[in-house]
């Protein structure tokens, strides 16, 4: 009997990826089916269903579930199961008109030109895109990367159960990091862990991340450093570089028996509070009992308050999730304390001053953020040693030195330290 938390809404994982013989048969059968192209976001969502990370979903959502998810965090088709973010597939009006209810279609990833699986069309429907954006992202600003994705999607949604035949390039390109929930659970059980804290990462691991992970290890059996391998917005650091940087820090500064690294194929939505809830749902499927939720979790720009991703967990109905948030305050390096600290522990309130050469000029608190790290590196400016380990900085410097075209990194209020 496993000591890990159960999967979300199900006594066991429900992976939709077919086994080898069934997969070969389905790939052959798909040759005669109409092709429905998928965006990178939809492809990532389908692979998440394939590996069981989106247990207990059996396919892309119909209109009733889309509405329930947007408005009430609930799926009517599954006895109002808690679910915070719509998982949908869109297409053009012309292609939608050509499809009959009950017809099976082949789902293709447009970026890799590869078959990901098949779906039996159970419903065709339109949605109010602005309503989804207001509910999920709390904004309809087209500059928000998640809003932009929704507004650019096709006008008609297709719903239905899916069969997954491919995990795309993730198992080969990220061998050793990419994991299914079943694989992660097996590793946790081999170490006899019952409490596991997930650390969500889309940036290289700087000292604040490491500090949060060390705190989590003090209260749980271990920490699962779980990084996103899917597509990011321009200016973010690509997954292959991030994997190397995280490896460098974890391998040298963590006890190997207390940390496991993993990666998942989903694309970032930058939905802040709502995405934090989705992160909790699928981390529960991975076997994690806790999700570390720090400042501006899954946020972008100034669309969300620094701790909205923590307070939204108060809206989760009792018993809806087995996983619990491990809420962390602002963390920073304090020159007066001479160590990493947080708002709850440090009495020194002045902001640290760093000159253009990266030298300390006075003050106490040096706020660390992934955005600030990317900005310093992209502009070729020195990074204070308190910000991140030299092994990490060396890998990032190599990446930025090779970039021919650099994206301007804009600082939001959290990254500038206004709240500290």
Task: List the catalytic residue out of 202, 242, 274, 295.
Answer: 202
- The helix (run of H) or strand (run of E) holding residue 82 is strand 81-82
128 noted as active-site residue:
no
- The alpha carbon torsion through 12, 16, 22, 28 (nearest 10 deg) reads 180
**Using CA atoms, how far apart are residues 82 and 277, in angstroms rounded to an integer?**
10
Q: How many CB atoms lie within 10 A of CB 6?
A: 15
285 noted as active-site residue:
no
CA angle 287, 313, 276 (to 5 degrees): 60
**Using CA atoms, how far apart are residues 54 and 284, in angstroms rounded to an integer?**
10
Residue 44: alpha-carbon gap to chain centroid: 11
344 Cβ contact list (under 8 Å, min separation 6)? 329
Q: Which DSSP string corresponds to 376-405?
A: HHHTT----TTTS-HHHHHHHHHHHHH-SS
409 Cβ contact list (under 8 Å, min separation 6)? 235, 371, 374, 375, 378, 379
For the record, the structure tokens of 308 come out as 């909205």
For the record, the structure tokens of 97 come out as 């008109």
Task: List the catalytic residue out of 41, 157, 185, 203.
Answer: 203
Which residues does the annotation mark as catalytic? Answer: 202-203
């Amino acid at each position: 009997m496993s000591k890990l938390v159960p999967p979300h809404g199900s006594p066991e994982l429900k992976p939709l990826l077919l086994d080898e013989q069934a997969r070969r048969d389905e790939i052959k059968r798909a040759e005669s089916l109409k092709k429905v192209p998928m965006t990178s976001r939809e492809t990532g969502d389908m692979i998440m269903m394939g590996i069981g990370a989106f247990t207990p979903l059996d396919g892309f959502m119909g209109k009733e579930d889309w509405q329930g998810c947007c408005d009430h965090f609930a799926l009517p088709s599954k006895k109002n199961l808690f679910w915070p973010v719509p998982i949908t597939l869109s297409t053009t009006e012309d292609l939608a008109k050509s499809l009959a209810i009950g017809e099976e279609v082949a789902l293709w990833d447009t970026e890799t030109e590869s078959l990901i699986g098949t779906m039996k069309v159970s419903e065709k429907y339109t949605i109010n895109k602005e309503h989804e954006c207001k509910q999920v992202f709390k904004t309809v600003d087209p500059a928000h990367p998640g809003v932009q994705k929704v507004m650019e999607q096709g006008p008609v949604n297709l719903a239905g159960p899916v069969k997954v035949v491919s995990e795309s390039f993730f198992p080969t390109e990220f061998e050793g990091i990419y994991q299914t929930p079943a694989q992660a659970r097996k590793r946790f059980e081999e170490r006899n862990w019952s409490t596991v804290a997930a650390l969500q990462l889309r940036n290289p691991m700087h000292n604040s991340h490491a500090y949060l992970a060390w705190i989590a290890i003090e209260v749980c059996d271990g920490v699962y450093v779980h990084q996103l391998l899917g597509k990011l917005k321009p200016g973010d650091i690509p997954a292959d570089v991030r994997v190397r940087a995280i490896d460098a820090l974890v391998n040298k500064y963590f006890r190997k028996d207390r940390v496991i690294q993993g990666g998942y194929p989903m694309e970032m939505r930058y939905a802040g509070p709502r995405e934090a809830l989705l992160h909790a749902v699928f981390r529960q499927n991975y076997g994690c009992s806790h999700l570390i939720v720090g400042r501006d979790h899954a946020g972008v720009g100034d669309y969300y308050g620094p701790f909205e991703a923590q307070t939204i967990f108060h809206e989760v109905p009792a018993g809806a999730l087995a996983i619990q948030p491990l809420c962390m305050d602002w963390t920073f390096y304090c020159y007066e304390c001479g160590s990493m600290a947080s708002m709850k522990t440090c009495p020194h309130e002045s902001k640290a001053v760093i000159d253009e050469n990266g030298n300390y000029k006075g003050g106490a608190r040096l706020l660390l953020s992934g955005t600030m790290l990317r900005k310093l590196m992209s502009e070729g400016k020195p990074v204070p040693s308190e910000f991140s380990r030299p092994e990490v900085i060396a890998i990032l410097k190599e990446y930025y030195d090779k970039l021919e075209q650099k994206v301007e990194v804009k600082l939001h209020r959290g990254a500038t330290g206004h709240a500290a």
